Structure 1
Amino acid sequence: MHSAITRIYAIGALSALSASLTLGAQAAPLQCVAPAKPGGGMALTCKLIQKGLQIPAVAEPQENPLKISYLPGGIGAVAWNSIVTQRRAEADTLVAFSGGSLMNLAQGKYGDADVSNVRWVAAIGVDYGMIAVRNDSPYKTLRDLLDALKKNPSKITIGAAGTVGSQDWLKISMLAKQSRIDPKDLRFVALEGGGEAFTALRAGHVQVVSGDASEATLHTLDGEIRILAILSERRLPGALAAVPTAHEQGLAVSWPIIRGVYVGPEVSDAAYKRWVGRFDAMMATPEFDRLRAATGLSPFAMSGEKLTVYIKKTVEDYRKQSDQLGLIR
């Protein structure tokens, strides 16, 4: 009798453990890591994916909502290092990246890192650079700003995500060079992402922000921010349709920025292919087109092996460009 009861308790305990493990596996949260502070383009990428995965044609039954977490530091370096060294096989952890991440890779700002250290899942849209000031700024146009910088470049502080050589530094530097201003004379303040840059602009700690159009879309709704120029070949549709391009103002500078996500290097082939398939399905829906447009991103869809080849070439191109500018460490 005693042994029979013992067996019953043992079976019950095993059943409870099995149920607990099953629930634990089901409860493992889907996560999108934004490697910057809230309010910038990385957070926007994760929020767009969060909404996209809820599209009926893409959503999976009983799937937990995508959680967004923030891991700022080194303009993406801290998040990269975390995934590559400690979280290599987390199949349900996506990490946002941008063209700025690829620039940092090219310039060696992620340490001894290589494109092949992670698995590139999907690029979900393209952003464009922009230059913004506060609405009470004396600079009404891009030309006004550049004329002021030409007269006294050290008087105007420019907020940019990252240090010398970052994509935000390069955007305004290219505009300066076309206006015969030495970029070395410009006064930059290095900040941790677009969210922090716009916070500094609102507070008056910087007078100008060199950032991205999607970030500007988030911060212009209250009328406190004025965008002087979009760095695209033609005007963007939607909320920023009234903003002129740099080209329209006589400066031939365009700066497209892809946005997407990657996963750790030891994520299984099956899990990786599953993500690629889900993103392909998501980006093929008209619902996602509308969501992407509402965030200020333009159409761009690439995934899996094709994206990996594209990123390898882009990083190599950035490396050559940076080497010519003396920016490689």
Structure 2
Amino acid sequence: MLVAIQLLAAEPKRPECIAPASAGGAFDLTCKLAQSALMSEKLLSAPMRVTYMPGGVGAVAYNAVVAQHPADGGTLVTWSSGSLLNLAQGKFGRFDESAVRWLAAIGITYGAIAVRSDSPYKNLEDLVKALKKDPSKIAIGSSGTIGGQDWMQTALVARAAGINPRDLRYVALEGGGEIATALLGGHIQVGSTDISDSMPHILNGEMRLLAVFSEKRLNEPEMKDIPTAKEQGYDIVWPVVRGFYLGPKVSDEDYAWWKTAFDTLLASDDFATLRDRSELFPFAMTGDALEVYVKKQVVGYKVLAKEFGLISDPGK
């Protein structure tokens, strides 16, 4: 009861969640998961609004919050591991990973390679053989440009198969929603995406996954038949953490309200049910622990980016 009173006393007046991409993708789903869960747990007395700010796979939203709304205590923005990869390469402009207040990580998913259900590619090796024959004939949809998370997934496969990743034909799109639309519309032949984006289309028979980049097969009933890249001979694992950040000048009081809310949420069985429905797996972290995690991940991504010639010095 004391926690509820403290939360009520500092509740944001106009809570908003910014999804830094078009509607329908994983950022959108992450916002809507928090929207539903915060209401379900009665942590908010009015629904949180979800708005969309596509551009630069998170860069536009990051810059807008930091430069224009740094003290807005009611505005959350979603982030993913791909956001951290882009930060590691300086793709968010003059702002780095220290420019915002990292709030919460609420779940984890895994990268995946998707095709339409009628695709001639039945497994990862079929796709690799076709890419070796003529990479220019296969359009691969990815969220963002060269160096982004989706690009990195297929670049790792290409490198393992002896293919120059820069020979691959990429179509830059804005988020998982656009990748699915382009794939189902026949504008691309392959989608480099993640499993949470893909599952709704897999369950309705429109798409299938050639591989998921997890350590082992996922044990959810609807996922257990999806092969990993590892079992197909490609030792590649790509976890995708999803969460939220706040502007850099948000007050300690507002930050504490949100942290307490998410700590409460992440310990809830009801939230676990909602998270599972969103095709996310458990990964809970808030506050200082999350900031340490984020900065460590960025350092690791800088090393990976240097390996692919995306940055010259991982120390910069």
Confirm whether residue 263 of structure 1 aligns to residue 246 of structure 2: yes
What SS does structure 2 have at the residue aligned with 1:115? coil
User: 2:11 and 2:34 mapped to 1: Cα distance?
Assistant: 20
User: 2:235 and 2:206 mapped to 1: Cα distance?
Assistant: 27
Which residue does the alignment assign to 1:280?
Answer: 263
Confirm whether residue 82 of structure 1 aligns to residue 64 of structure 2: yes
Superposition TM-score, scaled by structure 2 size: 0.92
Residue deviations 1:32-74 (CA, integer Å, cap 9, x gap): 1000001111011101111111233x524xx210111000001
Q: Of residues 268, 271, 292 in structure 1, which corresponds to 2:275?
A: 292
Which residue does the alignment assign to 1:152?
Answer: 134
Q: Which amino acid aligns with 2:232?
A: Q
User: 1:293 and 1:26 mapped to 2: Cα distance?
Assistant: 27
Which residue does the alignment assign to 2:78?
Answer: 96
Task: Indicate the RMSD between aligned Cα atoms, in angstroms.
Answer: 1.5
What SS does structure 1 have at the residue aligned with 2:280? coil
* Superposition deviation, residue 287 in structure 1: 1.1
Q: Of residues 19, 34, 48 in structure 2, which corresponds to 1:49?
A: 34
User: 2:140 and 2:95 mapped to 1: Cα distance?
Assistant: 29
Residue deviations 1:79-138 (CA, integer Å, cap 9, x gap): 011100111111111000000110111001111112121101100011100001011110
Superposition TM-score, scaled by structure 1 size: 0.89
Does the CA contact (< 8 Å) of 1:31 and 1:92 recur in 2?
Answer: yes
Residue deviations 1:241-300 (CA, integer Å, cap 9, x gap): 221111111111100011000011111001101111110110001111111111111110
User: 2:166 and 2:62 mapped to 1: Cα distance?
Assistant: 30
Inter-CA distance 170–122: structure 2 relative to 1 (3 Å threshold): same
Confirm whether residue 111 of structure 1 aligns to residue 96 of structure 2: no
Q: Which amino acid aligns with 1:93?
A: T
Which residue does the alignment assign to 1:186?
Answer: 168
Confirm whether residue 59 of structure 1 aligns to residue 32 of structure 2: no
* Superposition deviation, residue 148 in structure 1: 1.0
User: 1:186 and 1:157 mapped to 2: Cα distance?
Assistant: 8
* Superposition deviation, residue 27 in structure 1: 9.0
User: 2:155 and 2:21 mapped to 1: Cα distance?
Assistant: 23
Number of aligned pairs?
Answer: 302
Percent identity between matched residues is 51
Inter-CA distance 114–66: structure 2 relative to 1 (3 Å threshold): same
Runs of at least 4 residues of structure 1 off by over 3 A? 25-28
- Mapping for residues 236-255 of structure 1, pairs under 5 Å: 236-238=218-220, 239-255=222-238
Does the CA contact (< 8 Å) of 2:12 and 2:74 recur in 1?
Answer: no
* Superposition deviation, residue 302 in structure 1: 0.3
User: 1:326 and 1:178 mapped to 2: Cα distance?
Assistant: 16
User: 1:254 and 1:116 mapped to 2: Cα distance?
Assistant: 27
User: 2:234 and 2:171 mapped to 1: Cα distance?
Assistant: 24
* Superposition deviation, residue 219 in structure 1: 2.4
Unaligned runs of 5+ in 1: 1-24
Q: Which amino acid aligns with 2:119?
A: S
Inter-CA distance 279–146: structure 2 relative to 1 (3 Å threshold): same
Q: Which amino acid aligns with 1:266?
A: K
Does the CA contact (< 8 Å) of 2:11 and 2:257 recur in 1?
Answer: no
Residue deviations 1:154-211 (CA, integer Å, cap 9, x gap): 1111000011111100101111111121212111111111111111101111000001
More helix by share: 1
Unaligned runs of 5+ in 2: 1-9
